[in-house]
Every structure is written in C-alpha cells, then in structure tokens.
Amino acid sequence: MVEEIQRLLLTHNCVIVPGLGAFIGNYKPANIQLQEHKIYPPSKNIAFNKVLQTNDGLLINAIAHAKNLSFQEAETSINEFVRQCKSSLQQNRSFLFKDIGKLVLDDENNVQFIPFHSKNYNADSFGLPEMQIIPIKRLAESEQEIKATYQHKLHPEKLNSEKILGKRNRSVFYWLAASVMLVAILCSTWIINKNKIKPNQSESSMLAVFDTPTTELPMATQATNQTIATPEMPVEIPTTQKPLKTSEENIAKSYVVIGTFFDQNLSLELKAEVEKAGYVVKIYKDEQNGLFRTTIQVEEANVDSVLGKIKSDINKRAWIYCVSCNLN
C-alpha cells in the first residue's frame, strides 16, 4: 500500500487515503544550503491533511490495477490498511510511511506528520542528485572589496557619494596645502627675478617686469637725443623682459585614469559625480579601440600622494595615464 502511495505522489500532488487523510505535495524550487555546502534540485514538500478523507477513487483504482483486484476488493484492502494504521497510532503512538514520513500521536491525541526527505517526488528532477559545493575562503577585507567591486560594475553610474562626502574635508585640506605651496613658489620666482634686475636700471626698464613694457624714453633722454647723439653720450634703451608665466603654465600636468567605458554616457556620469568632490576631471577617447577614459588632472609634483588618495576615495584600481603631458 505504501509503495503505491509513493508512485502516485510522483505523478499527483494530492493522494487521499480514504478514512485516514491526504498526502499533499507542494513544489519546492532548487535551493542552496550553505551550512551543509550542498545544492538541492527542485522537489516536493510532502504534507499531511487529516481533514481530506473523502474517497476520490485515485488510490482504489491504482490498487485495483496494480494487484488485479476488483473495486470492492481494493476498497476492502485500503480499509484494512487504515485500520492497522490507526491501531498502531493508538498502541505505538506512531506509524511509519517508508520514504514519505511518519504519523505521530501527540500528548493531546492530535495526529502530527513528520516528513522525510530521503526521496524526491518531483518527476521533473528525476536523476538530479544533490551537488556538493566547496566554499571559497577569503579574507574579510577581500570579501568586502569584491562585493563593492561587484556593485560598482552593476551600477557604475552610482558611486558611493556618502564615502566621498565623508572625506571631503581631507580633500579640501590637501587642496589648501597645495595652494599655499603654489603661492610660495610664485613669490620665490618673483623675488629671484627682482634680484636679477641691475641697480642702475631706469624706471622704464623696471616696468617691463610687470608686463607693462614702454617704448618712450624719459624726457631728459629725448632732449639729449634731439641735440647731440655722440658715442661719448650713449643712450640707455629700456630693457624688456618676457612676462612671467602663470601658475597654470608653470605646473606640469599628469592624468590618473579612474574609469574606462565603451559607453560615453557612463563616462560623463562618472565625471559629474567625481567633480562634486572637487577634482578636475577630463574625458579622452582612445581612437584605437573606441574606449572613453575618465581621468583626473593632477599636478606632477603631487601625483604620487594624489594617486593614493584617489585609490582610497574613488577607485582602488586607478592608474597613471601619463605624466608631464598636455592632453588639452
């Protein structure tokens, strides 16, 4: 009788045992049990409902066909099986259905069902065994890094804005220090150029240092030129000097790549997000392979320290695209 119930559960989701109850199979998808290190194929969860006892003819017809019995004989056989099952519940407090489950009588004489998982009653999963999986051991930091990289690849347009905002004060401090250094360099350059000026230079030659060259000679010199111009009286011609270069021209530029995309829109979104943190971002297209490189413009003198900060704040895989170059 139990073997016939097992066969019916393979092809039916409900098998009623008249006078006892019904075994119901519910679909269960494939699942991963990390504690057991196993992957289980789709199956059926077997439950028992003692309320469904009305004879639907399914089990009787199956018994009659399997044992070559008449309908009345099959019904008598099922009634005898139900009587034995109830008697075992009263005497032993349990009754076992092989590879299906066990009926147990609790302290309040209520029938409880404990399902077994030794057999898969999902016919579509026939021949699919349990798969053993071996977990990959990683350090906690590496696992967090992999998860962050995975999320970044899924949503490259969304950077961790909270992390950037949290470290914005450090970025402002670095830029302030760089500005102070730049002012000090410019002042030193101006002092050096001033010391190179000859003490006996006229005021007209001094004006050239401040980008205001003059072509007119002093009135005294002009008057002398109008009277006599002799070798004994040389005329001092105002000297002109090249204007000082601005800080933008004096500082060599380097470029650090923080992202490479085939889609220009993704590169533009990354540029807009990083510019909010105070960086100077430029995009260049690699004509050879059609890639759009999103880069951060930094000063050559600070490229090592800024590269470490970029790796910490934005992308740990950032790399230097070029040093002392002009990509404008």
What's the per-residue H, E or C state across 183-226? Answer: HHHHHHHHHHHHHCCCCCCCHHHHHHHHCCCCCCCCHHHHHHHH
pLDDT for the residue 107: 82
Task: Confirm whether pTM is higher than 0.75.
Answer: no
> How far apart, in Å, are the Cα atoms of 91 and each of 48, 78, 115?
21, 20, 21
Instruction: Give me the pLDDT at residue 247, please.
Output: 47
Average pLDDT, rounded, for the chain: 76
Pick from 40-44, 64-68, 207-211, 237-241: least confident: 207-211
Q: How far apart are CA 98 and CA 106, in angstroms?
A: 20
Distance CA 295, CA 245 (A): 25
| Residue 199 confidence (pLDDT) above 50 | no
* Banded model confidence at residue 242, pLDDT cuts 50, 70, 90: very low
Task: Indicate if the pLDDT at residue 136 is higher than 60.
Answer: yes
- pLDDT score of 194: 64
Place of tokens 């030193």: 188
pLDDT digits (tens, 9 = 90+) for 262-273: 888 998 999 998
DSSP 235: P
pLDDT digits (tens, 9 = 90+) for 264-304: 899 899 999 899 888 888 888 888 888 899 998 888 777 78
Q: Which residue has the higher pLDDT, 62 or 229?
A: 62
Highest mean pLDDT of the ranges 171-175, 190-194, 245-249: 171-175
Residues 159 and 1: their CA atoms lie apart, in Å, by 64
Question: What distance lies between CA 50 and its chain's CA centroid?
Answer: 50
Task: State the DSSP H helix or E strand holding residue 14, giving kind and residue range, or none if neither.
Answer: strand 14-17
What's the pLDDT score for residue 294?
92
What is the reported pLDDT for 138?
A: 62
pLDDT over 70 at 317, yes or no: yes
Specify the pLDDT at position 1: 82
List pLDDT tens digits, range 83-127. Answer: 989 888 888 888 888 888 888 888 888 888 889 888 888 888 877
Q: What region does 169 belong to: left with phi over 0, alpha with psi -120 to 50, or beta?
A: alpha
pLDDT of residue 231: 41
Q: Percent of the chain at pLDDT above 70?
A: 73
Taken in order of first residue, the domains within the chain and their CATH numbers are: 2-132 (no CATH), 156-177+251-322 (3.30.70.1070)
Which whole number is the average pLDDT over 22-51?
A: 87
The pLDDT assigned to 162 comes to 52
| 199-221 average pLDDT score | 38
